[in-house]
Amino acid sequence: MTGIRGVAALWVMLYHAQQFSGTIFSLPLLEKVPILDKGWHGVDLFFMLSGFILMYAHERDFYLIRKASLIRFARLRFTRVYPLNAVVLLLIAIFVAFQPGFVAWTRASDPSDFSLGAFVRTLFLATRWFLPGRGDWNQPVWSLSLEVLGYLMFPLLAFCALRVARKRQLIGIVSLSLVACFIVAVMQRYFSYDPIGQIAVVRMTACFVTGIAIFRLWTLTSESARKWAGSITSISAVGILLVSLPSRGGPLLNFFFASLLYGLAFQQGIVNSFLSSRSVVFLGTISFPLYLVHLAPLLWLRYFMLTNAAAYSQFQKSAVLICWAIACLLAATILHYFVELPFHALGRRWAGARVPQLKSSG
């Protein structure tokens, strides 16, 4: 599960790089790679993983909903997302303070960018709590804002999911959630709805519920079914690749994400072995800071290259993009070890021991 999170983060990162590859960085071949243009769906995979992993970590906490369990969960979630977001936002604020030209250039498209109101919403991860407000400081925060809403819903969703004991019912829930995911993707693809705007809450909720239901389906699956897990993950991975090739295949991706997640839970097969490799797991380990830090410098590079492009050769512009990728990986690694891990440890101490439940969920 850690490895697939790293692949999803890299997919989103390359998707954003592809958006500027041809006209700004003189890499028209990158612009034509079909799989990369579906990279925005990597966030859907993040949402599914979030629902699944939260159930894995906190299933025992919400068979009964108690105040102490809610407080412990809130403290763990707070230290998981807020400190790292605040540090990254502070770094961006320091940088733009010395880049008035970049700020002015950005505000020419949206006067609310880098505004005080946008800063406060970004700091509190509140950019999507209501109708999307205008202005950004760090655009990827939109999904974290929705994650916070998912955290608020999770105790009740977990409480309800733990009372669904039939696989058919869970398959029905997964199917309905995936249909909602499909409708959202179709609305974005064919009706120009903003996938991080008007329909973002529905998008997150459908994927989040899917992950929760898949976890319950996995826990109710017999040991004898493990022999099929490797085949399920392989078929799902091939399906993701095939669906990503045509320009109109995006709406089907979430169906394969769900089956991939279910198969990976059994830790079987060649796909699981690849995702369990040291390098891929490390990428997954730094995926959260990588997701947070990758876009802001890329947007600044877009500004810099558009205003100075004539002074650079194609080789130099290509080298800039490679340096951006390396710098993002290094920054994510530093943030993981010096911000993320210390606050995780602090969060565990602050949250305290798990609250005993009267009844086991098994």
pLDDT of amino acid 133: 63
What is the Cα–Cα distance from 296 to 273, expressed in whole angstroms?
A: 33
Alpha helix stretches (DSSP H) within the chain: 2-19, 28-31, 42-58, 67-97, 100-107, 116-123, 141-161, 167-191, 200-220, 229-244, 253-264, 269-275, 278-285, 287-293, 295-308, 314-335, 341-351
pLDDT over 70 (residue 272): yes
What is the Cα–Cα distance from 61 to 54, expressed in whole angstroms?
A: 10
Q: Is the dihedral of CA 331, 304, 86, 8 positive or negative?
A: negative
Crossing angle for the helix pair 42-58 and 253-264, to the nearest 10 degrees: 30
Residues in Cβ contact with 323 at an 8 Å cutoff, skipping those fewer than 6 apart: none
pLDDT over 60 (residue 92): yes
List the structure tokens of 272: 């699981």
Least confident of 238-252, 269-283, 294-308: 238-252
Mean pLDDT for the chain overall: 90
List the one residue out of 268, 318, 256, 242 whose CA is nearest residue 22: 318
pLDDT of amino acid 361: 44
pLDDT tens-digit series, residues 297-334:
999 998 988 887 667 777 888 888 899 999 999 999 99
What is the Cα–Cα distance from 27 to 19, expressed in whole angstroms?
A: 11
pLDDT of amino acid 158: 96
pLDDT over 70 (residue 225): yes
pLDDT of amino acid 360: 45
pLDDT of amino acid 257: 96
| 362 confidence band (pLDDT: 50, 70, 90) | very low
- DSSP string computed for 238-299: HHHHHHHSSTT-GGGHHHHHHHHHHHHTT--HHHHHHHTSHHHHHHHHTHHHHHHHSHHHHH
pLDDT over 90 (residue 245): no
| 95 confidence band (pLDDT: 50, 70, 90) | very high
Q: Cβ(50)–Cβ(287) under 8 Å?
A: no
Radius of gyration in angstroms for the set of CA atoms belonging to the chain, rounded to a whole number: 21
* 273-278 CB contacts, 8 Å cutoff, 24+ apart: 274/3, 275/2, 275/3, 275/4, 275/7, 276/3, 277/3
pLDDT over 90 (residue 79): yes
pLDDT over 50 (residue 162): yes
Residues in Cβ contact with 61 at an 8 Å cutoff, skipping those fewer than 6 apart: 69, 72, 73, 155, 158, 354, 355, 357
- Angstrom distances, CA of residue 40 to CA of 2, 44, 77: 19, 8, 24
pLDDT tens-digit series, residues 18-40:
988 877 787 777 877 888 889 99
pLDDT of amino acid 248: 67
| 194 confidence band (pLDDT: 50, 70, 90) | confident
pLDDT of amino acid 148: 96
Q: Name residue 327's amino acid.
A: A
pLDDT over 80 (residue 198): no
